[in-house]
Amino acid sequence: MNPLPKSFYERDPALVARELLGKTLVRRLDRQTVSGKIVETEAYYGENDPASKAYKGRKTFNELMYLDVGKAFIYMVHGNWLLNIVAHPKGGVGAVLIRALEPIRGIEVMKKNRGVKDVYALTSGPGRLTKALNITKKQNGLDVTKAENEIAIFEAVAEEFEICTSHRIGVKRDLPKELRFYIKGNKFVSKRENLSID
């Protein structure tokens, strides 16, 4: 399995968010490697997106959103670390928030990190998955296109699934476009629209 190349992230964040679904996120810890399938994402833009961290212009803390694509951009919200991947066309601003994973490997480690037993509560939320994968500000700026890095995202084996969209979750002022993407019917998606399906 190969890591997704830089060029993958050098496009409109909404497109990158959509296409990140189904890909594999790998986290290397001291002794073990844990991984999960990306099942839910959201796209964020720059200064014309009121929900974006870059809404108020370039600052030290959001600088990564303006720089090289394919880097992890991590910040704290309500006591939770949230993992984003920088994505935008050349010279643009943007990032994709990883909102939920379906655990693949290292489920026991994730349970330990999270302190819960329920598999469906392990990584089904942006704050939950960073805790399960032990991701903090320390990993800010990591290049996820390098297979050997602590965090990396890999191309996945071909697989069939339907993609749904909705408005972004929890944001005060959203854009008219639906910028949240998730895999239809997947039980690890963070919110509840998927209950009724399949």
Partner DNA sequence: AGGAAGATCTACT
Partner DNA sequence: GTAGATCTTCCTA
Residues that bind DNA (CB under 7 A): 42, 44, 51-53, 56, 59-61, 75-80, 82, 84, 95, 97, 114, 116, 121, 125-128, 137, 168-172, 190, 192, 195
Q: Please, what is the minimum distance in Å from the beta carbon of residue 109 to DNA?
A: 16
Residue type, 179: L
Nearer to DNA, 157 or 176 (CB): 176
The full 3-state SS of 95-159, as one line of letters, equals EEEEEEEEEEECHHHHHHHHCCCCHHHCCCCHHHHHHHCCCCHHHCCCECCCCCCCEEEECCCCC
Q: Please, what is the minimum distance in Å from the beta carbon of residue 162 to DNA?
A: 22
Nearer to DNA, 137 or 146 (CB): 137
Is residue 112 a contact partner of residue 103, using CB atoms and an 8 Å limit?
A: no
Q: Please, what is the minimum distance in Å from the beta carbon of residue 166 to DNA?
A: 13
Q: Please, what is the minimum distance in Å from the beta carbon of residue 23 to DNA?
A: 17
Nearer to DNA, 24 or 52 (CB): 52
Is residue 101 a contact partner of residue 27, using CB atoms and an 8 Å limit?
A: no
Polymer length of the chain: 198
Token output for 88: 């935008």
> How wide is the angle at C-alpha 134 spanned by C-alphas 132 and 140, nearest 5°?
130
Residue 34, classed as helix, strand or coil, is strand
Give the whole-angstrom CA distance, residue 68 versus residue 82.
Answer: 19
Q: Please, what is the minimum distance in Å from the beta carbon of residue 104 to DNA?
A: 19
Nearer to DNA, 31 or 173 (CB): 173
